[in-house]
């Protein structure tokens, strides 16, 4: 689906997966004018395909497009395009319990522009791939390292949107942590280096007693769709949920820690290492994260009735 800078997106069309042709001076290649989203299709036991909260992904892409001076497909266009892509790739969707069909919408400045300015043309495309677990550990607890040298985002930057420019800068910290045996990296705020932000590709939650806390989305933290869903589910099940600034000291004193995201789902954290201190957390069948994971996955796969209107079924 394409659009000029002052126009509206035309009707899109399905095409076989293949390479994309771009001008060497395309804005996305030279200036990083691009966004992506991530969602999944789930196959039910009776063969149906279910999609989860697509309107939230569409709204988040619109927010990001505004920040990067790009036109954006309407929510209807976005949702319809994801449905078409999922249905066209239905045969690639793994059976229940074996994986999901990951769906990647991309919005990019595809038109050529030599000077620093918005592109004259934009392309919205979606591709899909069957996937298993994001982390090699599967559902086993993660081992997280607190990063002090590198920062994921700064105040006034683009950390709160799903800009493509947010991801390559974390690769160095991730590679260093993985070479030391860790699953991923937890970043601190760039201003004071004392408050939690997020992990490289997911949001983080702390559990202390009946209270679940997560850093507030203040412009440097991505407002995850899974994050918002877990907050709502936790409140529905009697937990007190707080969105606020969380100092590192609270993390080291938590009963339980877990991460959330479209790719990772709800992933328990077994240990966190900060400098020379390593803290272990509660994990297993009785953990809060396992309870919330079971409810969320049950809704996504049609095992638990969706009373919130979050699920879209496609035939």
User: Could you give the residue numbers annotated as active site?
Assistant: 162
Distance CA 54, CA 176 (A): 34
User: 3-state class of 211 per DSSP?
Assistant: strand
CA distances from 72 to 85, 99, 249, 285 (A): 18, 30, 41, 43
Closest CA to 203 of 260, 284, 246, 272: 260
Distance CA 253, CA 230 (A): 22
- For 101, list phi and psi in degrees, rounded to 5: -100, 110
> What is the distance, to the nearest Å, from the Cα of residue 259 to the centroid of all Cα atoms in its chain?
11
> What is the distance, to the nearest Å, from the Cα of residue 32 to the centroid of all Cα atoms in its chain?
19
Instruction: Name residues whose C-beta falls within 8 Å of residue 82's C-beta, 6 or more positions apart in sequence.
Output: 39, 51, 54, 57, 103, 105, 126
């Amino acid at each position: 689906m394409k659009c000029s800078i002052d126009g509206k997106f035309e009707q899109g069309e399905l095409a076989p997966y293949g390479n994309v042709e771009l001008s060497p001076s395309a804005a996305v290649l030279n200036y990083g004018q691009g966004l992506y989203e991530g969602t999944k299709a789930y196959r039910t036991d009776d063969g149906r395909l279910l999609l989860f909260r697509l309107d939230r992904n569409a709204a988040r892409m619109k927010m990001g497009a505004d920040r990067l001076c790009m036109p954006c497909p309407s929510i209807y266009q976005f949702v319809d395009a994801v449905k078409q892509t999922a249905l066209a790739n239905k045969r690639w969707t793994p059976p229940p319990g074996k994986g999901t069909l990951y769906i990647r919408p991309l919005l990019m400045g595809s038109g050529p522009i030599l000077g620093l300015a918005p592109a004259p043309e934009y392309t919205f495309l979606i591709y899909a791939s069957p996937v298993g677990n994001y982390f090699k550990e599967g559902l086993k607890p993660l081992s997280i390292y607190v990063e002090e040298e590198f920062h994921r985002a700064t105040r006034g930057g683009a950390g709160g949107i799903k800009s493509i420019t947010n991801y390559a800068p974390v690769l160095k910290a991730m590679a260093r942590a993985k070479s030391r045996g860790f699953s991923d990296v937890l970043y601190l705020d760039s201003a004071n280096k004392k408050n939690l932000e997020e992990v490289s590709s997911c949001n983080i939650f702390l559990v202390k007693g009946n209270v679940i806390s997560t850093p507030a989305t203040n412009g440097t933290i991505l407002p995850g769709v899974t994050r918002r869903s877990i907050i709502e589910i936790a409140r529905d099940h009697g937990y007190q949920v707080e969105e606020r600034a969380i100092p590192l000291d609270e993390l080291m004193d938590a009963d339980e820690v877990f991460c959330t995201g479209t790719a990772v789902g709800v992933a328990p954290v077994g240990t966190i290492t900060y400098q020379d201190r390593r803290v272990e957390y509660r994990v297993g069948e009785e953990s809060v994260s396992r309870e919330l994971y079971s409810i969320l996955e049950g809704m996504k796969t049609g095992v638990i009735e969706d009373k919130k209107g979050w699920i879209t079924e496609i035939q």
